[in-house]
Amino acid sequence: MPSSTPERESDVSKRLLKHWHEAVPNDRLAHLVKDATRSFLRSLQARLTPHGVSLGHWTFLRILWEQDGITQRVLSHEAGVMEPTTVVALRAMEELGYITRERLPDNRKNIYVFLTPKGKALKKKLVPLAEEVNAVAVRRMSAADVAHTRRCLLLMLDNLAHDQVLGPESTIG
């Protein structure tokens, strides 16, 4: 994968804008949501990189800031990634001093993941960066537009969670 530079990121953004505004402005909503997500992630990664944090580590840190001391399996599930991917990321995060992995005396089977003080301290530095990305994304949008967009996206999530083609286990609540 080519390294990211401001010039490359600008080119990607220009291509996306041209695609959506000129080439196929009425393309499927799923593609628009995917491209918006990729744009959010590119902006976040640009802010995380100077702090030595990868986007993959950000995902795990966010979960652990809310649920410290969970198993690797639960962490994989929450992050939506395969367990081998989680193990590789956790090894790197352990080397960076962000987490420790431990087997508890009463349950030697499971490996639990705990944030270190260094991992916990990252929250103060990194969460404002994510908030900044969100602020950039909604710039020039009214509070009503943001609220409406949120309601629409939540309704889409709800509708897709109840997609009968996915089977009864996809139903939430």
pLDDT category of residue 68 using cuts at 50, 70 and 90: very high
- The mean per-residue pLDDT over the stretch 124-149 comes to 96
First to last CA, the chain: 40
CA 114 to mean position of chain CA atoms: 19
Question: 6-31 pLDDT, tens per residue?
Answer: 776 666 666 655 655 555 556 788 88
Q: What is the model's pLDDT at position 1?
A: 39
Pairing label, strands 99-104, 70-71:
unpaired
What are the domain boundaries of the chain?
6-137
Q: What is the model's pLDDT at position 3?
A: 56
Task: Report the C-alpha gap between 102 and 105 in whole angstroms.
Answer: 9
Q: Is the dihedral of CA 70, 74, 80, 83 positive or negative?
A: positive
User: Would you give the DSSP letter of residue 105?
Assistant: T
- The mean per-residue pLDDT over the stretch 45-62 comes to 95
Report the largest interatomic distance among the alpha carbons of the chain, rounded to a whole angstrom. 61
Q: What is the model's pLDDT at position 7?
A: 73
- The mean per-residue pLDDT over the stretch 18-45 comes to 79
Please report, rounded to a whole number, the percentage of residues in the chain having pLDDT higher than 90.
67
pLDDT category of residue 173 using cuts at 50, 70 and 90: very low
Q: What is the model's pLDDT at position 54?
A: 94
Question: 73-121 pLDDT, tens per residue?
Answer: 999 999 999 999 999 999 999 999 999 999 988 877 899 999 999 999 9
- The mean per-residue pLDDT over the stretch 120-127 comes to 97
In 10 A of CB 132, how many CB atoms?
13
Question: 156-170 pLDDT, tens per residue?
Answer: 999 888 887 877 655
Residue 70: beta bridge partners?
Answer: 113
Token digits for 145? 């537009």
Buried (b) or exposed (e) across 36-73, using 16+ Cβ within 10 A? eeebeebbbbebbeeeebeebbbbbbbbbeeeeebbbe
Q: Indicate the fold that domain 6-137 takes in CATH.
A: Arc Repressor Mutant, subunit A (1.10.10)
pLDDT at 127 over 50: yes
Q: Can you give 109-147 as a three-state secondary structure string?
A: EEEEEEECHHHHHHHHHHHHHHHHHHHHHCCCCCHHHHH
